[in-house]
Amino acid sequence: IQLKLDELSLLKCACSLYLNNPNFNYATSLLKIIILQLNSTNSKMLRYASNAICTAINDELRLDVSLQICQIIKQYAIDNKFNIRFTVLKPLANLELEDVSLSENKKVKNKVRKTLLSRKGKKDMKDSKQYMEQLEQISAKETLEIKNKKNSQILSIVFYVYLRILKKMKIH
């Protein structure tokens, strides 16, 4: 006896599994399956996949999922020689990206680290409250720098995909 499974129910399972466990071992494979359905002509599957991707992007805080989605969409577009439907690019339009100002962060980070590099300064401030506050500032600056780095990676991927599609449209 052969079991015939409904494609929509399989997609629903993949989406719910990914949304509930984005750090699952096979999360990238699930994401590839979901993104593949963004190029589908079936409106129900397209809508369900699009909603799942948009939910994943909106629910995250660290930009890891957004970066992963952008990388998979970029690879999918490259594999299909940028002959993709606009619905594949829809999640890229839903990204909420911030302005990236790396030069400011580097100056502040270097200034704070210079005060912590001297051994005598470390000994003097080790037990003080000021030392703990500076460590908190450094960790906050580093997380901001990581977020800005991911943000700039996402922007470069989005621009790359859009410009390649525009370039391909201009040729044809």
Q: Which residues contact 98 (CB under 8 A, 6 or more apart)?
A: 148, 151
Determine the Cα–Cα distance for residues 69 and 133; give it in Å rounded to an integer: 36
Average pLDDT over residues 2-15: 77
**What per-residue confidence (pLDDT) applies to 127?**
59
72-128 pLDDT, tens digit each: 999 999 999 988 898 998 888 888 776 555 444 444 454 555 555 566 666 665 556
**What per-residue confidence (pLDDT) applies to 38?**
92
| Whole-structure pTM value | 0.71
> Distance of alpha carbon 92 from its chain centroid, rounded?
10
User: Residue 71: is its pLDDT beyond 90?
Assistant: yes
CA dihedral 66, 71, 72, 75 (to 10 degrees): 160
Q: What is the 3-state secondary structure (H, E, C) of 32-82?
A: HHHHHHHHCCCHHHHHHHHHHHHHHHHHCCCCHHHHHHHHHHHHHHHHCCC
Hey, what are 123's tokens?
Answer: 């000994």
